[in-house]
Structure 1
């Protein structure tokens, strides 16, 4: 990495997953992930057909040409079942840990609006105007050196340690809940946590309804100070309540798609599979056959995505095989070399 690269984005186009990491003064401030799936992207303007009403006169279900169904709101007056219209995607579909999914949200677009696909991750960070450094899957693993692996572990476990305490982030269908824990006196713990919560919301692109369970603070002045610290470090736009007498603060921020935690936790087998592909690509090229020793669930995921194995073979110049073993954990897959 160039020694003067302290600010801006690093971007890596991986197999099945693209990744971006933002630095500010050399510190990791944001990670973003883009995976291959067939939901319409944020900002897309697409053809749709009105399927049925959801809440009479207020919202309805539309079906896109891809077959994806979206929640349409507001509902145009006089729209009849089967009518064609153009819609803009304002929130991408969400996959949840229990296998359930929430439809994307859309709003009506003018009939003469140009059809368009929403911006990719790379296009999105290009619009930021910040420098972009494209990372290749050979040489030093720059993103790991800058904290990518630690951030992914935080996203997977929901546990984020800071000096003097821990944030425990839990995903629920209704909201993201963050519990503050630690041995410090309540006011000192809450002050430190307030800063880190603001940074975490930006780092992992957490939006929607967010509940924060701070230590109970009896003094109103202390609760006001906690809110001031949070506001000073919160980079994104949001609305919040005051902290109540039980230490609870609620935040509402615009949600345009799944947070990094939601992406990582929605399908842990997929997360492990994509991490293994990244490791395999970085294992070197031209070294004879490559064997991926994996858990059977990961093997099944790979066999359903032959294109990923073909891409790995193309990028490394090596033939690739997969061997499943129940003795290997889901995250314990590894790469072995065969004969030349």
Structure 2
């Protein structure tokens, strides 16, 4: 059985998918946005200063650039102390706000000013190596993308140029379903909705309760792995008539969860509710796409969508990107991304703000 990594690099983001036995088992989105003061990712190290204690074993620290984090454990540290920390969970969005990143102290290390990221491999390189380690072969859409990927992960694994395979994976459709939170199952629909407390999954449809519940039990663990959904997860199964039916559903869910990796879960209770807890070191695909506005693309996602549309536009003339002012202003904060896009297209790019434009805007290719 061969596992392939599909590497779809575009302006502002990388979309990566692991395909095993012809099926997409993991879909990940990596973004390193220029308007942030430094890379913020699990595994990265930073010089930090303790601001104040927030509990018996917790402290608020600053890592510079206006970025704060929660340090835990923190019993041995005092206010004002300098230390080196490792990020264990990147900032994650929840409805209406961002949760602070979580960090832990790096033992036997000495921190000095200035505060901030301790440079090592770039987060994109770390992401590429992590994904490539799971695959037997790598697939890219263009020779340039393949060369960039080889530079990050080396030549140990074969790299194939196959734009059709990337297109057939249809990452766009999966991203759209992730934004709406609606996923089809046999006879019905799953709805995955983020709340501040947890990710909630609801089941609905026209088939019988047991049929829908079993279909959901087969699909939910697959989606959790596919979209990197972690943390607290609640599943609201349809009510079943008796204990025997609930036990049958619980057995089906147990079997489906075998490939889910590290997790804990409760049994199906009398109300049909199940809770699953998975490790969470960063934002899920849904959270990356929607940010703090569940069910809608975030400002970053809209800006990246416009840049992706620009990257695949055809013609030799100047590209004019017309979009709402907030989207244009966000793109202006990504000069390196714009410069790379201009280079790849071999033409200039003009940005036009227009408050009457809806959606994420549009691209016009000059004929001159």
TM over 0.5: yes
What is the match of residue 26 of structure 1?
22
- Tell me the secondary structure at the aligned position of residue 80 of structure 2: coil
Find the aligned partners of 2:88 and 2:183 in 1 and give their Cα distance.
30
What is the match of residue 74 of structure 2?
75
Matched, 1:273 2:296: no
Of 60, 82, 106, the match for 2:103: 106
- Tell me the secondary structure at the aligned position of residue 30 of structure 2: strand
Deviation at 1:217, TM superposition (A): 1.3
- Tell me the secondary structure at the aligned position of residue 248 of structure 2: helix
Question: 5 Å matches for 1:1-340?
Answer: 7-37=3-33, 38-55=38-55, 57-77=56-76, 79-98=77-96, 100-112=97-109, 116=120, 120-136=126-142, 140=163, 142-234=165-257, 235-266=260-291, 268-284=298-314, 287-331=316-360, 333-340=361-368
Change (3 A) 1:141 1:17: farther
Aligned residues of 2:83 and 2:110 also touching (Cα < 8 A)? no
Deviates more, 1:155-164 or 1:106-115: 106-115
Deviation at 1:324, TM superposition (A): 3.5
Find the aligned partners of 1:21 and 1:113 in 2 and give their Cα distance.
38
Question: TM-score, normalized by length of structure 2?
Answer: 0.83
Deviates more, 1:133-142 or 1:89-98: 133-142
- Residues 22-53 of structure 1, C-alpha deviations (whole Å, 9 max, x = no match): 11122222210111243521112322111110
Find the aligned partners of 1:130 and 1:229 in 2 and give their Cα distance.
31
Aligned residues of 1:169 and 1:178 also touching (Cα < 8 A)? yes
CA RMSD for the aligned pairs? 2.4
Change (3 A) 1:199 1:113: farther
Deviates more, 1:33-42 or 1:148-157: 33-42
Aligned residues of 1:269 and 1:330 also touching (Cα < 8 A)? no
Change (3 A) 1:315 1:271: same
Find the aligned partners of 2:177 and 2:354 in 1 and give their Cα distance.
27
Deviation at 1:113, TM superposition (A): 8.5
Question: TM-score, normalized by length of structure 1?
Answer: 0.89
Deviation at 1:339, TM superposition (A): 3.1
Flag structure 2 segments of 5+ consecutive residues without an equivalent: 112-117, 146-160, 292-296
Deviation at 1:310, TM superposition (A): 2.3
